[in-house]
Amino acid sequence: RKEVEQDPGPFNVPEGATVAFNCTYSNSASQSFFWYRQDCRKEPKLLMSVYSSGNEDGRFTAQLNRASQYISLLIRDSKLSDSATYLCVVNRMDSSYKLIFGSGTRLLVRP
Amino acid sequence: EAGVAQSPRYKIIEKRQSVAFWCNPISGHATLYWYQQILGQGPKLLIQFQNNGVVDDSQLPKDRFSAERLKGVDSTLKIQPAKLEDSAVYLCASSLDLAGWQYFGPGTRLTVL
């Protein structure tokens, strides 16, 4: 079983739609959580951190449920430019902080 | 501010050949990471340096992969000899310190024939 699991998609939605991605993690020692965005043939870029209290950045809302070991990302009013792969990432401490990436969920926003 | 630099951007080699990748982190970043990203998967950490010391290389296939960061700035990752399954994008990332946010370079796309 992978340490971070995501639905690979693709999610194919029209412009203006609301779309939600989910992610589960198996290691309860995970300490911090992020969503990264990766465009085709580009490097991953940090989208936002995820907190138990929930956090919002414009059209993006991220939520963490530690009890269920579940992370979500909600995108409202989807734009064509939101088309990308969204990577769920957890940060845990072994000998050092280590980022563990999910395989990503692909989003396609159509006109 | 300049980002993480990597070269080459693309490399095609035949199996059993050797290859080396270079990374220059963001100025002042003490921590440097090498990741392997196979098509359809998320990045997987290969090795992590703090200055010129190795912090974590538990997932580095040490029979064929090696990496160094001799002066605590630039780093090289080498594969010798390459296998078909090494075809992937090799991403370098850096952070201010061990707990800092990681910033990724553009990657080197390796194809092994």
Q: How far is CA A16 from CA A13, A36, A79, A91, B6, in A?
A: 8, 21, 7, 32, 37
Q: Are B108 and B10 in contact (CB under 8 A)?
A: yes
pLDDT attached to residue A95: 64
pLDDT tens profile B23-57: 999 999 999 999 999 999 999 999 999 998 999 99
pLDDT tens profile A34-63: 999 999 999 999 999 998 888 999 999 999
Contact A102 B44 (CB under 8 A): no
Task: Please tell me which of the candidates A8, A46, A96 has its beta carbon nearest to residue B48.
Answer: A96
Contact A95 B107 (CB under 8 A): no
Contact A45 B50 (CB under 8 A): no
Give start and end residues of each alpha helix (H) in chain A: none
Chain B residues inside the 8 Å CB shell of A4: 42
- Both structure tokens of B7: 């070269």
Chain B: closest CA distance from residue A44 (Å): 7
Contact A43 B105 (CB under 8 A): yes
Nearest of A95, A102, A104, A89 to residue A32 by alpha carbon: A89
Q: Are A15 and A110 in contact (CB under 8 A)?
A: yes
Contact A45 B48 (CB under 8 A): no
| Residue bearing the bigger pLDDT, B35 or A30 | B35
B85's enclosing H/E stretch is none
Chain B: closest CA distance from residue A106 (Å): 10
Task: Tell me the three state secondary structure of residue A54.
Answer: coil
pLDDT tens profile A59-92: 999 999 999 999 999 999 999 999 999 999 998 8
